[in-house]
Structure 1
């Protein structure tokens, strides 16, 4: 189980799109979040098991190990994991499937970084930025 001491503000950001991954990661870092970046589901799973983050921001459509398969494995390893799915996939059924598998939130790409931050488990402890929800 993910504990507050271990990885309380650590997030694994997973996306094969380097630009989107970088934008999300930099925004989270600017809000005091420790970010580990992964380019595919396999990397994400390894980082997740090693670093025990507070949350995972996970794209669904990726090479090597897709997001849904990575999500299933993360939830099997730690049922309390907080996964926020962010996907460009237009299929709402796929996002519903991710929620059914254990994701805590499912956002459509391009998701605004403030929306991603708001979906994280420690969001209530983040200082609010006026107008942040409309930016991005």
Structure 2
């Protein structure tokens, strides 16, 4: 799941910070926003995911991942975006079977843990961005 959102409702604060800051400072602020967002997303995603008692039967023999997917949620943060979870369209990862858990199969209903997590956290993403931009603006204006 990629953490991305449009900044709505506090464009004035964002424009003020951008006018007073260099692109490197803006990148550092954005990275901090995405890091905080990813940090709150990961435990909530874990709560939405099932965890089997024994993962030795997960995947095909010879391709079994080390540990449970729930305990190995990937997290990547840059100045442009934050990513928590897996790219579900490919099979090149250890936890390729998570797409079956998310989307369901003919024998198993979809669990939809990615979208549930994103909708649960979306308001917090905006709050974090607002706090970080307001903090940066206050630092720049000396207040």
Q: Same fold (TM over 0.5)?
A: no
Larger Rg: 2
**Greater fraction of residues in helix:** 2
Question: Whose strand fraction is larger, Structure 1's or Structure 2's?
Answer: 1
TM-score (normalizing by structure 2): 0.26
